[in-house]
Amino acid sequence: MERYFYPDKSLWAGICKRPVLQQEELTELVQRVFEDVKSGGDEALLRYTREFDKVKLTGLRVTDREFKKAESLVTQELKDAIHLAGRNIEKFHFSQMENPVPVETSKGVVCWQESRPIPKVGIYIPGGTAPLFSTVLMLAVPARIAGCNEVILCTPPDKNGNIHPAILYAAGFAGVKNIIKAGGIQAIAALTQGTETIPAVDKLFGPGNQYVTAAKQYALSLGTSIDMPAGPSELLVLADVSANPAYIASDLLSQAEHGQDSQVIFISNENEMLVKVEKELEKQLSRLPRKQIAEKALENSKMVLMSDNSEIVDIINVYAPEHLIIATEDEDFFIRNIRNAGSVFIGNYTPESAGDYASGTNHTLPTGGYARVYGGLNMDAFTKKITFQKISPEGLKIIGSSIELMAEAEGLLAHKNAVSIRLNDINHQDEY
Residues 116-145 binding a second copy (CB under 8 A) are 116-119, 129-134
Q: Which of 181, 216, 302, 416 binds a second copy (CB under 8 A)?
A: 416
In the bound complex, what is the minimum distance in angstroms from residue 320's beta carbon to a second copy? 9
Q: What minimum distance in Å lies between the beta carbon of 353 and a second copy?
A: 4
Residue 360: how many CB atoms within 10 A of its CB?
Answer: 19
Question: Contacts with a second copy in 32-71 (CB under 8 A)?
Answer: none
* Active-site choice (66, 257, 322, 404): 322
Confirm or reject binding of residue 359 to a second copy (CB under 8 A): yes
| Residue 322 appears among annotated catalytic residues | yes
d(CA 26, CA 13): 30
The region of 23-31, 34-42, 242-250, 308-316 touching a second copy under the rule CB under 8 A is 242-250
Choices 54-62, 64-72, 191-199, 394-402; region in contact with a second copy by CB under 8 A: 394-402
Are the C-beta atoms of residues 376 and 364 closer than 8 Å to each other?
yes
Q: Contact between 222 and a second copy (CB under 8 A)?
A: no
- Least Cα distance to 15 among 277, 300, 256 occurs for 300
What sign does the dihedral 66-69-75-80 (CA atoms) show? positive
Considering only 105, 162, 260, 269, the residue that binds a second copy (CB under 8 A) is 105
Tell which positions 68-87 bind a second copy, by CB under 8 A: 77-78, 80-82, 84-85, 87
With the C-alpha atoms ordered 184, 189, 194, 199, is the resulting torsion angle positive or negative? positive
Shortest Å distance, C-beta 375 to a second copy: 4
Partners of 123 in the β-ladder: 153, 205
**Which of 56, 283 has the CB closer to a second copy?**
283
Instruction: Please tell me the distance from the alpha carbon of residue 259 to that of residue 404, in angstroms, as a whole number.
Output: 59
Q: Is 103 in the site for a second copy (CB under 8 A)?
A: yes
Question: In whole angstroms, how close is the CB of 268 to a second copy at the nearest point?
Answer: 18
Asked if 185 and 38 touch (Cβ cutoff 8 Å), the reply is: no
Smallest gap from Cβ 118 to a second copy, in A, equals 5
- In the residue annotation, 299 being an active-site residue is answered as no
β-partners of residue 302 are: 2, 265
Closest to a second copy by CB, 198 vs 305, is 198
Q: Which of residues 337-356 bind a second copy (CB under 8 A)?
A: 338-356
In whole angstroms, give the CA distance from residue 334 to residue 324: 11
Burial bucket for residue 154 (CB in 10 Å: 0-12, 13-18, 19+): buried
Is the distance from CB of 137 to CB of 174 less than 8 angstroms? yes
Residue whose CB is less far from a second copy, 22 or 129:
129
Q: Which of 11, 380, 427, 430 binds a second copy (CB under 8 A)?
A: 380
Member of 38, 284, 296, 314 binding a second copy (CB under 8 A): 284
Give the one residue of 25, 101, 310, 432 binding a second copy; rule: CB under 8 A. Answer: 101
- Count CB-CB contacts under 10 A for residue 30: 21
Task: Using the minimum distance from each CB to a second copy, give the nearer residue, 13 or 409.
Answer: 409
Q: Minimal distance in Å, beta carbon 313 to a second copy?
A: 12
What's the DSSP call for residue 61? B
Burial annotation 264-301 (CB, 10 A radius, 16+ → b, else e) = bbbbbbeeebbebbbebbeebbeeeebeebbbbbbebb
**Minimum distance between the CB of residue 58 and a second copy, rounded to whole angstroms?**
28
DSSP string, 205-227: E----HHHHHHHHHHHHTT-EES
Which one, 56 or 97, has the nearer CB to a second copy?
Answer: 97
| Whole-number Cα distances in Å, 243 to 3, 70, 203 | 19, 42, 41
Given the DSSP bridges, would you call strands 263-268 and 343-346 parallel, antiparallel or unpaired?
unpaired
H/E segment holding residue 66: helix 64-73
Q: Whose Cβ is closer to a second copy: residue 18's or residue 38's?
A: 18
Annotated catalytic sites, by residue?
322-323
